[in-house]
Amino acid sequence: MVQLNAQIPDGPMAEKWTRHKFGVKLVNPANKRKYKVLVVGTGLAGASSAATLAELGYQVESFTYSDTPRRAHSIAAQGGINAAKNYPNDGDSVHRLFYDTVKGGDYRSREANVHRLAEVSNQIIDHCVAQGIPFAREYGGNLSNRSFGGAQVSRTFYARGQTGQQLLLGAYGALQKEISKGSVKMHTRCELIDVVVIDGRARGIITRNLVTGEIERHEGDAVVLATGGYGNVFYLSTNAMNCNASAAWRACKKGALFANPCFTQIHPTCIPVHGDYQSKLTLMSESLRNDGRIWVPKQKGDTRPATQIPEEERDYYLERKYPSFGNLVPRDLASRNAKEVCDAGYGVGPTGDAVYLDFSEAIERLGRDAIEARYGNLFEMYNRITDDDPYEMPMMIYPAVHYTMGGLWVDYNLMTTIPGLYAIGEANFSDHGANRLGASALMQGLADGYFVLPNTINNYLAELQRDTVDTSHASFAEAEAEATAKLEKLLAVKGSRTVDDFHRELGLLMWNECGMARSEEGLRKALEELPKIREAFWSDVNVPGSGDDLNQALEKANRVADFLEFAEVMLRDALNRSESCGGHFRLESQTEEGEALRDDEAFAYVAAWEFKGVGEEAVLHKEPLAFEEVPLSQRSYK
Ligand SMILES: Cc1cc2nc3c(=O)[nH]c(=O)nc-3n(C[C@H](O)[C@H](O)[C@H](O)COP(=O)(O)OP(=O)(O)OC[C@H]3O[C@@H](n4cnc5c(N)ncnc54)[C@H](O)[C@@H]3O)c2cc1C
């Protein structure tokens, strides 16, 4: 029987983390080198934790399916990273960042974790500056800040539109130093295909070498999954094409609970879909909403070019509806409102599924050079993709799947329900509740990797009775046989449809029924459709080639097979949560003004799902959420 214990420390909110760090058992320096930690993933969370654990003295092995740690999806992050430094002196504080994040998450996150995140945020900036991250600076040399959605202060640190890349270079540099010292063993082009659990504890992983096809066993005293989010279950998303749910899903199948899988973030400012055979969507950073104004024509079906529509015939609907936050409302609100105006027939562009993001007023006020200095690379990217010049014409944008707030359930120590198995960064169910505020994923990934896990993992390792399990143990053989059999089964189908074809079909179903708006009827329909797609996949997928060398179709097929199972838990979770909250909008649960209507009495809990078999209904476990510091209230940005 699974018991959920969040291990939240006692004491006042602002002292919990400090007290906990003191209470955590330590491993003495001479003993640390006896323990081996396997860290899967080299994004911001994985690279920062692997480097830090190695610096502390642990033996670390690091894994990524990419050819270098630097290619992790974190490199794509554009806009920035939050911290409560209050450099602009505009009223920010640790408490305000904590408050904004709990409120922004629509009261579905764990207060103690969010407070810790806000506390650690300032250390992250100091650490990254010490690493040499080239954050934007003011003329006088101070670090510069800009604003992101859901906050009325400027607390976002940035490096032009390449913040993730610069932060990842810092973490990669730290990791590389440990690799060259021999304290981290790096495995590139190496994909986790199963987790090994022995006597109830995580003791290793099974991997496939993506170049040679070789299946390998790796033993460790603890396993850390820093494997990112599952947004690509929707096929089209802003995520890197390789992002997938497999590591987290395989862990779930081995006994780790999966929390809040239906909490997906749909980002309001992406380049709209333009065709059936598109495979990727592009984000235009939220930072653009600092200066860009969002509008649609007041007249339905107005086909005049944007520049010919006079000011009085434009509806700046976010500024009109939410005067306090205007264009900087949180993502869930901005996305839902864009969908609403487009569904009502006010959308622009060839498909009518787009709204304008207009910089003309900012260019007039600040000058083109100032806008170019702030967003130059984003404007260039937009221009290259669409062939339109955003300095002359407003950008056209539409919401797209971007981030997943759900993930493996973890306690305050970031440990899953399998002892010794940790999940960090986007892979855990994180601190963002039902809606993540912009610039807080980088903050969370680095908080987990540089500061939280390197403290909390000591507690587990210090108490561990070291034993002599090695990779010849029967559980390794069993996991390897299972993973290998699955690959062989995929190759043996020899059907007529490509993997992408099935992935696209799954994505469309998920977008239509579990995307920006969900209803009981749609979710039930999807739960009927999904098993049919899964069956069709297993009887008609075509995976050419063999398993003995580089075979990208096989890699993809293995991941899509997992998406096809995992999607069912997402649908079940969305169906169970009949309230609306954050990014999860149930049509049946809205206020008279069409805003998300929470039901705190029935749903103030983390929904953690236990896998019971493919096609079997997963079992729901609830972690009740208490709000002591930020009282529950209807979220308002008016
Ligand atoms: C376009 C874009 C822009 C963004 N901009 C911002 C921003 O400005 N600010 C912000 O705060 N957030 C932003 N985000 C969100 C943020 O970038 C991510 O949430 C964050 O980088 C995730 O980091 P991570 O380390 O958890 O995972 P990732 O960076 O996704 O890394 C996952 C790692 O796991 C490895 N991996 C996965 N599965 C396996 C497996 N089975 N075997 C081996 N290795 C595996 C991968 O190779 C990779 O190394 C943005 C996201 C996108 C898509």
Residue 8 within any structural domain of the chain? no
| 409 vs 127: CA distance, rounded Å | 28
Tell me whether residue 75 is in a domain: no
pLDDT of residue 464: 87
377 and 275 in one domain?
yes
DSSP 277: T
- What b/e string do you get for 547-563 counting C-beta neighbours within 10 Å, with b at 16 or more? beeebebbbbbbbbbbb
Please check whether residue 506 lies inside any domain of the structure. Answer: yes
| Domain closes at, from 402, 437, 457 | 402
At residue 2, the pLDDT reads: 80
Does residue 42 have its Cβ closer than 6 Å to ligand 1?
yes
- Residue 159 amino acid letter: A
Sign of CA dihedral 111, 116, 122, 124: negative
Tell me, yes or no, whether 507 and 393 share the same domain: no
Domain shared by 504 and 397, yes or no: no
**Contact yes or no for 316/355 (Cβ under 8 A):** no
- Report yes or no on 522 lying in a domain: yes
Angle at 599 between CA 595 and CA 605, to 5 degrees: 120
Q: What is the pLDDT of residue 593?
A: 84
Q: Note whether residue 194 is domain-resident.
A: no
Could you say which of 402, 437, 467 is where a domain stops? 402
Q: Which atom of ligand 1 is nearest to the CA of 283?
A: 1
For residues 385 and 512, membership in a common domain is answered with: no
Tell whether ligand 1 has an atom less than 6 A from the beta carbon of residue 37.
Answer: no
Tell whether ligand 1 has an atom less than 6 A from the beta carbon of residue 64. Answer: yes
* Domain CATH number, residue 596: 1.20.58.100
**CA dist., res. 383 & res. 37, Å (int):** 45
Q: What are phi and psi of 223, to 5 degrees?
A: -125, 130
The values of phi and psi at residue 367, to 5°, are: 95, 150
- Which tokens sit at 384? 């290259």
Count of domains forming the chain: 2
Distance CA 265, CA 446 (A): 20
CA–centroid distance, 535 to ligand 1, in Å, is 30
To test the pocket of ligand 1, the residue of 64, 254, 558 to mutate (highest count of ligand atoms within 8 Å of its CB) is 64
Residue 135, both tokens: 């954050």
Of 48, 49, 65, the residue with max ligand 1 atoms within 8 A of its CB, to mutate for a pocket test, comes to 65
- Amino acid identity of 12? P
Q: Are residues 492 and 397 in the same domain?
A: no
State the CB neighbour count (10 A cutoff) for residue 67: 11
The first and second tokens of residue 612, run together, are 């019971």
The SS3 assignment for 318 reads helix
Ligand 1 close to Cβ of residue 163 (< 6 A): yes
CB of 247 sitting under 6 A from ligand 1: yes
Instruction: Give every CB contact of residue 423 below 8 A, 6+ residues apart in sequence.
Output: 224, 225, 226, 248, 251, 256, 407, 408, 410, 414, 416
Q: How far is the CA of 84 from the centre of ligand 1 (A)?
A: 23
d(CA 377, CA 78): 10
CATH number at residue 331: 3.90.700.10
| Sign of the alpha-carbon dihedral angle for 162, 168, 170, 172 | negative
Q: Are residues 299 and 398 in the same domain?
A: yes
The kind and range of the H/E element at 293 are strand 293-297
Q: Which residue has the tokens 């690959």?
A: 487
Which candidate, 241, 291, 330, 265, places its Cα nearest to that of 595? 330
Tell which of 402, 422, 448 closes a domain: 402
Q: Is 578 helix (H, G, I), strand (E, B) or coil?
A: coil
| DSSP per-residue codes, 597-637 | ---HHHH-EEEEEE--STTSPPEEEEEE---SSS-------
Residue 568's H or E segment, with its range, is helix 552-576
Residue 20: per-residue pLDDT: 97
Structure tokens at 455: 């403290």
Phi, then psi, of 127 in degrees rounded to 5: -65, -45
Which residues are known to be catalytic?
331
User: Token digits for 238?
Assistant: 């802003």
CA quadruple 424, 427, 429, 432: dihedral positive or negative? positive
| Residue nearest ligand 1's atom 53 by CA | 239
> Dihedral (C-alpha) 252, 257, 260, 266: value to the nearest 10 degrees?
-30
- The verdict on residue 535 lying in a domain is yes
Ligand 1 atom closest to the CA of 190, numbered from 1: 43
Asked whether the beta carbons of 40 and 421 are under 8 A apart, the reply is no
The C-alpha atoms of residue 433 and residue 102 are separated, in whole angstroms, by 7
The reply to whether the predicted model has a pTM over 0.85 is yes
CA of 411 relative to ligand 1 center, distance in Å: 21
| CA–CA dist 97, 82 (Å, integer) | 9
Cα–Cα distance between 269 and 534 in angstroms, integer?
32
Residues 505 and 382 in one domain: no
Which of 70, 73, 243 most suits a substitution to test ligand 1, by most atoms within 8 Å of the C-beta?
Answer: 73
- Which of ligand 1's atoms lies nearest the C-alpha of 439? 11
- In the predicted model, residues of the chain with pLDDT beneath 50 are none
C-beta of residue 611 within 8 angstroms of C-beta of residue 602: no
Q: What are phi and psi of 102, to 5 degrees?
A: -65, -45
**How far apart (Å, rounded) are the C-alpha atoms in residues 479 and 486?**
11
H helical segments located in 494-519: 499-514
| pLDDT at res. 286 | 85
Query: Does residue 549 lie in a domain region?
Result: yes
Same domain, 495 and 388: no
* Residue 600: domain span: 486-605
CA 427 – ligand 1 centroid, Å: 9
User: Using alpha carbons only, how large is the chain's radius of gyration in Å?
Assistant: 24
Beta bridge partners of 185: 61
Note whether residue 43 is domain-resident. no
Separation CA 5–CA 9 (nearest Å): 11
CB proximity list for 468: less than 8 A, separation 6 or greater: none
Does the Cβ of 439 fall within 6 Å of ligand 1? yes
pLDDT at 229: 98
